[in-house]
Every structure is written in C-alpha cells, then in structure tokens.
Amino acid sequence: MKAFVYFGDKDFAITELPMPKAGEGEAVARILCASICGTDLRTYRFGSEKLKTPITIGHEACCLIEENGKGVNLAGRYIAAPAIGCGQCRSCRKGRTNMCDSLQTIGFQYPGTFAEYMRIPAEAIQRGHLIRVPDHVSDQAASVVEPVACAINAQSYLKIEDGDSVLIYGAGYLGCIHAELALMQGARKVIIAEVSEKRRIKAKAFVPEAHVINSVDKAYMDQVKDIAGGVGVDVVITACPAGITHRQGLDLLNKNGRMSLFGGLPGENNYQLDSNLIHYKEASVYGAHASTVEQNRQALELVASGRLNVEKYITAYALKDADKAFQSLIDETAEKVVLIP
Ligand SMILES: [Zn+2]
Ligand SMILES: [Zn+2]
C-alpha cells in the first residue's frame, strides 16, 4: 500500500509499505479521506524530534473497516478519536483521557492516516475510540471532525454565554470553527484578529457574522474595544502560534474574563503573562490539548445535525499529491486540506 512517510528531519516521501494485518483485538481500515492538521504541517515544515521515524503521520480521518482481528466485529465507516489514554491513570479515571500520563496517539506513537490503509490499535477499539459515521455525513466532512472536538474541549472551560464578546486570534480553520461554536453559544460579538490578508478575506466569507480585523499592528487593540462596545472582551481564544497574542489577549480581557491558550507555541517561548493582571481582573487562563472521545462524539453530532457546515472549509487532494497539498496550506490558498488515497 502507499503511504506518505516521514523519515526524519524534513524528509517525507510517498512510499510503498506492506499491507497492515489485523492482530488479535485489532482491525484494519481503508482510509477514505484523511485531513491535514496544523501539527502535521509543523512537522512537514520544521521536522519533529518527538517522532520515532520512519512513521506515517496524520491523525484525522474517515475510514472503512476492511478486516477484523480475532474478537473484533466492526463494519462500516468510522472516525477514530486519535488520543488514546491508558484508562488507568488519574486523568483517565476522571474522564480526561486527553490528559493521560502515557497518552498514545494515532500518527505519533501509532502509524497514522496518510496512507491507503491503517491498523486500528486494540486499545482504540477496547476503549471506544471508534465512532460510527452516519450515512448522510460525507467522508470529507467526517475527516475534519477531530479538530472541532479540540475546539469543544477548549471552550468547555470558557463558559461562553448569551451576550459575551469573544476575541479569537487566527483565522485558520480552527479560528473560524471557534468563532462558529462561540456564536452557537450565544456570543453577541465575535471578533477574529488575523495578520494575513488572504486568511481574512476567506474568514469573512466563512463566518459572515464575525468581525474580521487586521492585527498586524497594535492599533487593532482599539478596534477590538470599539467593536466590543468601548471595553475589552469577555473571552479570548488564541488559535495561532504567536506568543504575543497571549500577552495582548490578556490586556484586552475584561474583568472576570476567560482566556484559552489554545494554540501551542513552537519551541521555547518567553511570553510571560502579567500575573497581576490575572489577579486584579479575576481573570481565568486555561490551557487546552487534544480532545476526549466524548468531545469527538459531540463534534460529529454537530456536523451530522447540520448545525456546523465543515465542508465549506475543505480543499481535497489525492494522497499522491501530498506535497502539493501541504504547499497549499503554506501558501494559504487552502483553509483545511484533505488527502484522498
Ligand atoms: Zn489534529
Ligand atoms: Zn491514562
């Protein structure tokens, strides 16, 4: 079978690999559509020291069961919640499997989705990580559900309510999804701050209810206050890899405001937050990492019910054109890119 394999440093190639076999408790699935995540793009551009190479990366996909191992009886199309907890540690016992002490993730510790076929680990099947895709949901839509689950995880801490103003940094797929989720929860003003003009134009079309503004220079901070009604915002979400947004976001936060540091920062960072601001504003600052099975279920339900249209964000490429697909993300000509084997 063909797979897009990462060999270390910045070396990727479409490679012929042996067909995976389903061992006891496992299954083999045909990848119908796999989606490229920001993490994959980071590995493609800058390499990753964390991955044991060679490995097939990718963790977002819609797949069709082709072979069941001993003791397994699955059929049909599924998405797999990729971050698999041990089920034993303190976080797992509390249902926060995404915070597992020994998290094993598809496309990181297990071979990933940028391939024609994938072996589904026994742990994923045992712990309920496979979620059935309803017939009316397309392969492409199902393949981009997992990032929505990560946004749901971040917003679970933010308690967005009717009338809130929400500032989102970054107009990529996840910035826009955050905006759509915030609007669903009754946010009155949703502002997306983005430095790239190409991205701003697209975000305006994708989420017409949001105010999309240019944050390339600091004057945008006054614009945020104007839109929010002369004050700051109740909620800030950073969906971009720029540390400066952590500091400026905290500045713009209202009293009792909530902030999610959603996007991780590459490498070392020295964006210290002013803890006195947090103290005097009684602000809350939250982290966010990956998602639970339940949140993947909720995300799929939002898509299946038609409340969230994810298809409008998608550009599709053939798996053999994976390099072109990654390039379209680098050029910002595409918002969310999927690979079809
Ligand atoms: Zn992802
Ligand atoms: Zn665990």
Average pLDDT, the chain: 96
Q: What is the pLDDT of residues 127-184, one digit of tens each?
A: 999 999 999 999 999 999 999 999 999 999 999 999 999 999 999 999 999 999 999 9
pLDDT for position 268? 67
For residue 39, the ligand closest to its alpha carbon is 1
Ligand 1: centre distance to CA 39 (Å): 7
Q: Is 291 helix (H, G, I), strand (E, B) or coil?
A: coil
Closest ligand to the CA of 336: 1
Cα 237 to middle of ligand 1, angstroms? 17
Distance CA 168, CA 242 (A): 12
Rounded to the nearest whole angstrom, what is the distance from the C-alpha of residue 127 to the centroid of ligand 2?
Answer: 11
CA of 81 to the centre of ligand 2 (A): 15
Ligand 1 centroid to 178 CA: how many Å?
14
Longest dimension (CA), the chain: 63
Please, which pLDDT band fits residue 264 given cuts at 50, 70 and 90? Answer: confident
Distance of alpha carbon 178 from alpha carbon 171, whole angstroms: 9
| Ligand that lies nearest to the alpha carbon of residue 40, given by its number in the listed order | 1
Q: Residue 149 CA: which ligand is closest?
A: 1
> What residues form DSSP beta bridges with 83?
105
The angle, 0 to 180 degrees and rounded to 10, between the axes of the packed helices 173-184 and 145-155 is 50
Ligand nearest to the CA of 112: 1
Task: For residue 172, give the ligand nearest its CA.
Answer: 1
**Distances 262 to 97, 222, 289 between C-alpha atoms, Å:** 18, 23, 7
Q: Are 137 and 33 in contact (CB under 8 A)?
A: no
Query: Could you read off the pLDDT of 268-320 as tens digits, one per residue?
Result: 677 788 999 999 999 999 999 999 999 999 999 999 999 999 999 999 999 99
Closest-lying ligand to the alpha carbon of 34?
A: 1
First to last CA, the chain: 10
**How many whole angstroms from 103 Cα to the centroid of ligand 2?**
6
The better pLDDT of the pair 241, 152 is held by 152
In degrees rounded to 5, what are phi and psi of residue 65?
A: -70, 130
Give 12 Cα–ligand 1 centroid separation in angstroms: 19
Compute, in angstroms, the gap from residue 107 CA to the centroid of ligand 1: 10
Structural tokens at position 81: 């919640």
Alpha carbon of 59 to ligand 1 centroid (Å): 6
Ion ligand 2 nearby residues (CB, 5 A): 85-86, 89, 92, 100
Give this prediction's pTM. 0.96
Could you say which ligand is closest to the alpha carbon of residue 95?
Answer: 2
